[in-house]
Amino acid sequence: MTQTEDGNDTVTLIDNKTGKQVTMPVLHGSVGPSVIDIRKLYAATGYFTYDPGFTSTGSCESAITYIDGDEGVLLHRGYAIDELAKNSTFPEVCFLLLNGHLPTAAESTEFDVILRRHSMVHEQLTKFYSGFRRDAHPMAIMCGVVGALSAFYHDSTDIEDPVERKIAAHRLIAKMPTIAAMAYKYSVGQPFMYPRNDLTYAENFLYMTFGTPCEPYKVNPILSKAMDKIFILHADHEQNASTSTVRLAGSSGANPFACIAAGIASLWGPAHGGANEAVLKMLEEIGSVDRIPEIVRRAKDKNDNFRLMGFGHRVYKNYDPRAQVMRETCHEVLAELGIKNEPLLDIAMELEKIALSDPYFVEKKLYPNVDFYSGIILKAMGFPTSMFTVLFALARTVGWISQWKEMIEDPVQKIGRPRQLFTGENKRPFVPLNERG
């Protein structure tokens, strides 16, 4: 790396074939890796860069979430995830992600009222559910219903208007618990429950999910605290696949509701947010502790595409700090529910112990991630496995919409349009049907 006269750092690329050189600026952030600004590379050299899966590519500048994968650090606007999980509430973290600072008491009260007052959905939206089969996967329902929100809230789809952007963000954060609870109610054939403005965000979600019109439903404070903490742990996570999907969709000017629906679709994959559902299925398939060596062998077998769900991460090459908090919460919830010997937890603890000592996992730095323990807690709380990723989407909506807002307000943002390394057929003449072999 060298410096220009004005003291800015640069790197120079030399084409060994032509001897041509191109010097590019190095940009430094407040913390974490610096970046090589390659925006002029193609014009200067005729080369694209090539980075499938974006393992070495920074897609944007952001001030929302910082991850140090080697140290297992996760900061939201500078605050460590374990401190937020211990001392904050999910609405407070939503305010932090959206606005960049922790709310004052007055701001917190005002924001709380906004979320409570926006939690109801348009009555017509309930009609969308009846178009689905009762056994439709709730994530399919979430993709459809959230995408449909743009048909109901035209007055907050002008992305150039900061007021409309703010209203859309509040509506999405406030309505996701209602929409998610309705997806669950629809799947079990129970009536939808309207939100209650006298309940907290997490209490309301548990009430709308597990309450019925037939009798009063008292939310267990330990469970609502655990739910709130689980929401905090899933709130945002830098430029992951679903957040990058939201940013790319938003870069074309698509409305925020459509962008969040795109994020939900991306999160659904088992390599991403769908992993919590896949972890539970894997633990159930393992069935007993003595089958773990076979499972670990399969996970290590290059010829077997089986992967240990809930393990590994593109960024974390250390323990996912969220998994640590999730593990503690898991024990708290099981204790509160009086679940003494949960076989799935025994299998998970033994699997974690074996995997963390196995050279394959140690060398590849594969540690438990946020999805490893969440499924056990959610199952203990009464959620069906099919709802696990829905809860992830519910919580991640604030991260998606905060990153979307940051992108829209970024003066250098433009439509995302990557290029490619083309390896297909070059130009060739058309062959009429009667001359084809």
Residues 371-410 that bind ligand SDX (CB under 6 A): 371
Contact 178, 275 (CB under 8 A): no
**Distance (Å, rounded) from C-alpha 34 to C-alpha 27?**
6
By beta-carbon proximity to ligand SDX, the closer residue of 62 and 204 is 62
The stretch near ligand SDX (CB under 6 A) out of 84-92, 153-161, 272-280, 408-416 is 272-280
- Residue 418 burial (CB count, 10 A): 11
Residue from 76, 237, 327, 405 binding ligand SDX (CB under 6 A): 237
Reference 196, options 119, 268, 298; nearest CA is 119
Comparing CB distances to ligand SDX, the nearer of 225 and 313 is 313
- Closest separation in Å from C-beta 376 to ligand SDX: 14
State the minimum distance, in angstroms, from the CB of residue 272 to ligand SDX.
4
**Toward ligand SDX, which CB reaches closer, 201 or 367?**
367
Distance from C-alpha of 170 to C-alpha of 321, rounded to nearest angstrom: 28
Question: Binders of ligand SDX among 273-292, rule CB under 6 A?
Answer: 273, 275
Residue nearest to ligand SDX (CB): 312
Site for ligand SDX in 130-149 (CB under 6 A): none
User: Catalytic residue among 112, 236, 320, 371, which?
Assistant: 371
Give whichever of 231 and 311 is closer to ligand SDX, judged by the CB atom.
Answer: 311
- For ligand SDX, the closer CB: 94 or 315: 315
Annotated active-site residue in 154, 313, 320, 346: 313
Smallest gap from residue 388 Cβ to ligand SDX (A): 12
Cβ 81 to ligand SDX shortest distance, Å? 11
Residues numbered 338 to 367 that lie near ligand SDX (CB under 6 A) are: 364, 366
Among 280, 299, 393, 401, the residue binding ligand SDX under the rule CB under 6 A is: 299
358 is catalytic: no
Tell me the per-residue interface mask from 301 to 340 with ligand SDX, x by CB under 6 A, - otherwise. Answer: ------xxxxxxxxx-------------------------
- Of 195 and 321, which CB lies nearer to ligand SDX in the complex structure? 321
Contact between 263 and ligand SDX by CB under 6 A: the answer reads: no
**Catalytic residue check, 290:** no
Toward ligand SDX, which CB reaches closer, 209 or 389? Answer: 389
Stretch of 221-229, 271-279, 285-293, 374-382 contacting ligand SDX, by CB under 6 A: 271-279
Chain residues 43-72 in contact with ligand SDX, contact rule CB under 6 A:
53
CB within 8 A of 429, min separation 6: which ones?
A: none
Of 199 and 249, which has the nearer Cβ to ligand SDX? 249
Least distance CB 391 / ligand SDX (angstroms): 13
Q: Is 369 in the site for ligand SDX (CB under 6 A)?
A: yes
- Is the C-alpha dihedral spanning 114, 403, 128, 374 positive or negative? negative
Give me the least distance between CB of 352 and ligand SDX, in Å please: 12
Distances from the Cα of 131 to the Cαs of 127, 141, 145, in angstroms? Answer: 7, 10, 11
- Interface positions with ligand SDX (CB under 6 A): 53, 237, 240, 271-273, 275, 299, 307-315, 364, 366, 369-371
Active site residues: 313, 371
